[in-house]
Amino acid sequence: MTPDQQRAVLTVCLMAAYADGVSDTERDALGRIAGRLGAGTPLDVGAINTDVLGRRPSLAELAAALPEREARQLAYEMAVGVCNADGTASAAERDFLAQVAQAFGLDAGPAQSFAQQAAAVTAAPLSGSALDGAIVATVPANGVEIDKMIVNYAILNGALELLPQSLASMAIIPLQMKMVYRIGKAHGYELDRGHVTDLLATLGVGLTSQYVEQFGRKLLGGLLGSIGGGLLGGLGSAATGAGFSFATTYALGQVAKRYYAGGRTIDAAGLQQAFASMLADAKTLQGNYAGQIAEQARSLDLGKLLAVVKS
């Protein structure tokens, strides 16, 4: 994709993030993410974010910048993922998505079908089955098993970051939430979705902002493709992007283990400090698993994984 096309797609993605309004904290997070995404690229993503906040761009204008149907489909898919970040798209977000589909000339049936698939993935229940061979299929019984499960989730999410399908990106946060649920259950806590979401937010892992960053990083790295499987880029190496999802998942798992093992007595500041420290360690550790991440990306059956995530 050209920089102008990437700019148009990212504009739609950020418009989706603001479609239903966001908190000041989330707005600040999106601003920081825009700055990170623009670093080392031809795009000033921070300026795109400012433009979206100050002047709601015309969808017709964006459609004109995306003459290829695959690029329009990709922009729509990214918007769907962001609008469903918290598990349920609001009425305002559904209205925005309908406007995007219409302005981009997308068939209503397939567009609605994709939105339903995305909603099922992002709102996946915390309990349920797991994918044998990729993540531990049962609640871990001890610290060693918990550590193994955390690494397996981190490798899986690193692999998902390398896949071109938009739905692969949408599965990362639900898998992180399932991991936290299993860690809590291993320590005697039956967690609900609200508790896990609050923990992620405390650590700075916002749902909307994380989706924007995942999609933006894959788009600018040339890794995203259309729902039909057509690639706008190649698979790439495990060093391209996968380190972020691996590190975030690993750090989240380790902090959750410490938090629930300690009886949930760590305050917000302590959790944030622990997460920052563990995230730095995880970024270094990721290199040790680069080969496993790449291999899992090559062999992963995304359809089977998504069915498990939604179960």
Whether the pLDDT of residue 238 is over 60: the answer is no
- pTM for this predicted structure: 0.87
Q: Is residue 114 located within the same domain as residue 155? A: no
Q: Per residue in 166-219, pLDDT tens? A: 888 899 999 999 999 999 999 999 999 999 999 998 998 888 888 888 888 888
pLDDT at 132: 44
The reply to whether 106 and 35 lie within a common domain is yes
Q: Are 79 and 16 in contact (CB under 8 A)?
A: yes
Question: How many domains does the structure of the chain reveal?
Answer: 2
Q: How far apart are CA 200 and CA 181, in angstroms?
A: 12
Choice between 13 and 234, residue whose per-residue pLDDT is larger: 13
Token representation of residue 88: 């349920």
Does 223 score more than 70 pLDDT? no
Q: Which residue reads 């690193």 in tokens?
A: 158
Give CA 186 to chain center in angstroms. 25
- pLDDT tens for 19-42 read 887 777 778 888 888 888 877 778
Phi, psi of 190 (to 5 degrees): -100, 100
pLDDT per residue over 247-285, tens digit each? 999 999 999 999 999 999 999 999 999 999 999 999 889
Beta bridge partners of 225: 231
Give 129-138 pLDDT, tens digit per residue: 555 444 545 6
295 shares a domain with 157 = yes
Residue 241, pLDDT > 60, answer no
168 and 284 in one domain? yes
For residue 187, the enclosing domain spans 143-310
The alpha-helical segments, DSSP class H, found in the chain are 3-17, 24-38, 45-54, 59-65, 69-83, 91-103, 108-122, 143-162, 166-170, 172-186, 193-202, 207-220, 242-261, 268-285, 290-299, 302-310
* Sequence letter at residue 131: L
Which position has the token pair 């259950």? 185
Q: Are residues 280 and 164 in the same domain?
A: yes
The neighbour count for residue 289, using CB atoms within 10 Å, is 19
Q: Is residue 249 part of a domain?
A: yes
Within a domain: 131: no
